[in-house]
């Protein structure tokens, strides 16, 4: 079995595989989560919203995109 560094053991990208292989138990993972510091006081909360595009907005294309073949673009330069 490959030796896994402790900081990589709880990486979400590999955790599921390590649990399946028995390297990390769900109980160990829960204990690890309890040791993590609480970063909530350092968080900034922002409100995200999107305004609907106006039908008269000239920056919004109306499905009329045109493309030139790559040969004609390189020849025109």
Is the CB of residue 29 less than 8 Å from the CB of residue 15?
yes
Q: What are the residue ranges of helices labelled H in 22-68?
A: 26-35
| The predicted structure's pLDDT at residue 52 | 74
* Residue 64 in tokens: 């009329």
| The predicted structure's pLDDT at residue 45 | 87
pLDDT digits (tens, 9 = 90+) for 66-76: 667 776 555 55
pLDDT digits (tens, 9 = 90+) for 27-49: 999 998 899 899 999 999 888 88
pTM of the full predicted structure?
Answer: 0.47
Higher pLDDT, 6 or 39: 39
């Amino acid at each position: 079995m490959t030796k896994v560094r402790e900081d990589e053991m709880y990486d979400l990208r590999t955790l599921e595989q390590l649990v399946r292989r028995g390297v990390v138990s769900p109980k160990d993972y829960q204990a690890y989560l309890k040791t993590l510091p609480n970063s909530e006081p350092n968080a900034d909360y922002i409100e995200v919203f999107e305004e609907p595009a106006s039908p008269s907005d000239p920056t919004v294309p109306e499905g009329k995109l045109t493309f030139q073949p790559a040969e004609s673009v390189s020849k025109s330069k």
